[in-house]
């Protein structure tokens, strides 16, 4: 671990803090403002995700063809602009969509820069540090953002904007990384060609789709908390709901710390076991009504999720770094992750219009995680595969 990594961790901590604080500030705005239907909260989350899917063919290429530290700076600037729009009273769906555009630009550079800063043997560890610091930021962002927003939404948004600005300044101190030559090929066609190349190897396919399962489950579960917690645990304010999500975040951080010893990058197949455990823990949550046990189960969901997602992130970055570029690989991963999150939040929004029981919704999520993991882990080899020619040709 070197000074560049620590600078990245600091910048990532602040931007992740702000990303979560602004979400709970928006939730508080909706809960205090009135006039919003139950569908609005999952729709708000979906407005953030759209940019990751729509811009995927361009943001990965953009991250690889520019110094990734500068790409992080531009992403933070866009996020701050979205927060300013929310502070100015623009409709939350539109303002949060602008934050999503900044996050879509930021994402491929955040993870794509790691292979440039550390060697292959430290990649899982570096991912664990980034994931762990991000989760700690999520904890503080959720708790502090929700707590401040319950008293003053304006002050909460001012805190968010300040965090984005400081993170932006920190990224200026990240050393310039190597860039790929400008690619004149049509972005959309090349993006889907790269995607096709990734699907020719089961490790890359498992990494892409496995990350999609994790993030879809995490986002849908976070939105479900706003309906499940009041109905089952009798919590009725933003701070109490945010405190529940903290236990998931702490669990992910713990999982990220221990995962280098449990699932080294050469033994990626082991990660599927953690995904199964995560699904079963969600099922247990669905039949839990005691607040203390609910927190314990949420912690276990986070631990198993962290053990699952960190090594598959590292594997995909490693494959991308050696072929098409880490930024391009992360953009493909983000495409699938956010497409899955959009589908998940869309289905949940549809279920809410049919007045689905909150407990039934949580149980359904657990079943879907187990089934999806079985499908994407099918025929996953025990040993690493050679890089397919299709990927090398797309580089």
DSSP 284-350: HHHT---HHHHHHHHHHHHHHHHHHHHHHHHHHHHHHHTTT-HHHHHHHHHHHHHHHHHHHHHHHHH
Share of the chain above pLDDT 70, in %: 91
* 242/44 Cα distance (integer angstroms): 16
Model pLDDT for residues 260-300, shown as the tens digit of each residue: 788 877 778 888 899 999 999 999 998 898 888 999 999 99
Q: What is the mean pLDDT of residues 384-388?
A: 56
CB-CB contact of 387 with 293 (8 Å): no
* 42/287 Cα distance (integer angstroms): 23
Model pLDDT for residues 103-134, shown as the tens digit of each residue: 999 988 887 788 777 766 777 778 778 877 88
Mean pLDDT of the chain: 83
* 190/57 Cα distance (integer angstroms): 8
* 157/161 Cα distance (integer angstroms): 6
Model pLDDT for residues 324-347, shown as the tens digit of each residue: 666 677 778 778 888 888 888 888
The residue among 370 and 183 whose pLDDT is bigger is 370
* Chain Cα centroid distance, residue 161: 20
* 145/155 Cα distance (integer angstroms): 9
Q: Is the pLDDT of residue 319 over 70?
A: yes
Among 67-76, 173-182, 296-305, where is mean pLDDT lowest? 173-182
Q: In the structure, what pLDDT confidence band is assigned to residue 157 with cuts at 50, 70 and 90? A: very high
What local confidence, expressed as pLDDT, does residue 370 receive?
A: 94
* 106/68 Cα distance (integer angstroms): 9
What local confidence, expressed as pLDDT, does residue 45 receive?
A: 77
Q: Global pTM?
A: 0.71
Residues 6+ apart with CB under 8 A from 163: 14, 15, 17, 18, 21
Q: What is the mean pLDDT of residues 132-140?
A: 80
Phi and psi at 381, nearest 5°, equal -70, 155
What local confidence, expressed as pLDDT, does residue 393 receive?
A: 47
Residues 6+ apart with CB under 8 A from 364: none
Model pLDDT for residues 8-31, shown as the tens digit of each residue: 999 999 999 999 899 888 888 887
Report H helices in the chain. Answer: 3-33, 40-54, 56-64, 68-87, 92-112, 114-117, 123-151, 153-171, 187-198, 202-228, 238-262, 271-286, 291-321, 326-353, 358-376, 389-394
* 296/304 Cα distance (integer angstroms): 13
Model pLDDT for residues 233-257, shown as the tens digit of each residue: 887 676 777 778 788 888 888 888 8
CATH 1.20.1250.20 fits 3-174+186-394, yes or no: yes
Model pLDDT for residues 56-109, shown as the tens digit of each residue: 888 888 888 888 889 999 999 999 999 999 999 888 899 999 999 999 999 888
What local confidence, expressed as pLDDT, does residue 383 receive?
A: 59
Q: What is the mean pLDDT of residues 354-382?
A: 85
3-state secondary structure of 383: coil
What local confidence, expressed as pLDDT, does residue 387 receive?
A: 55
Q: What is the mean pLDDT of residues 359-381?
A: 87
């Amino acid at each position: 671990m070197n000074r560049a990594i620590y600078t990245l961790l600091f910048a990532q901590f602040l931007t992740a803090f702000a990303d979560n604080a602004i979400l709970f500030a928006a939730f508080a705005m909706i809960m205090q403002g009135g006039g919003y239907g139950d569908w609005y909260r999952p729709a708000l989350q979906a407005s953030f995700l759209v940019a990751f899917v729509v811009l995927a063919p361009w943001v990965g290429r953009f991250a690889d063809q520019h110094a990734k530290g500068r790409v992080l700076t531009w992403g933070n600037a866009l996020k701050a602009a979205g927060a300013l729009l929310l502070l100015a009273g623009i409709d939350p769906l539109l303002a949060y969509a602008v934050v999503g555009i900044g996050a879509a630009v930021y994402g491929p550079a955040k993870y794509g820069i790691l292979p440039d800063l550390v060697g292959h043997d430290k990649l899982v560890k570096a991912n664990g540090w980034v994931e762990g610091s991000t989760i700690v930021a999520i904890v503080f962002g959720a708790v502090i953002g929700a707590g401040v927003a319950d008293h003053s939404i304006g002050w909460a948004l001012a805190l968010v904007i300040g965090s984005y600005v400081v993170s932006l300044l920190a990224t200026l101190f990240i050393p310039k990384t190597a860039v790929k030559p400008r690619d004149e090929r049509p972005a959309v066609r090349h993006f889907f060609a790269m995607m096709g190349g990734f699907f020719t190897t089961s490790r890359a396919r498992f990494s892409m789709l496995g990350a999609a399962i994790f993030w879809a489950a995490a986002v849908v579960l976070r939105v479900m908390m706003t309906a499940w917690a009041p109905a089952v645990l009798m919590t009725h304010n933003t701070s109490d709901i945010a405190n529940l999500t903290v236990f998931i975040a702490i669990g992910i951080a713990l999982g990220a710390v221990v995962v280098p010893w449990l699932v080294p990058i050469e033994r990626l197949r082991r990660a599927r076991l953690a995904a199964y455990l995560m699904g079963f823990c969600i099922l247990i949550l669905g039949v839990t009504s005691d607040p203390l046990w609910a927190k314990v189960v949420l912690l276990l969901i986070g631990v198993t999720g962290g053990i699952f997602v960190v090594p598959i992130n590292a594997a995909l970055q490693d494959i991308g770094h050696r072929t098409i570029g880490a930024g391009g690989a992360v953009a493909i991963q983000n495409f699938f992750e956010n497409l899955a999150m959009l589908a998940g939040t869309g289905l949940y929004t549809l279920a809410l219009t049919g007045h689905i029981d909150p407990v039934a919704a949580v149980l359904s999520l657990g079943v879907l995680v187990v089934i999806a993991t079985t499908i994407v882990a099918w025929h996953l080899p025990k040993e690493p595969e050679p890089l397919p020619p299709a990927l090398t040709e797309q580089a």
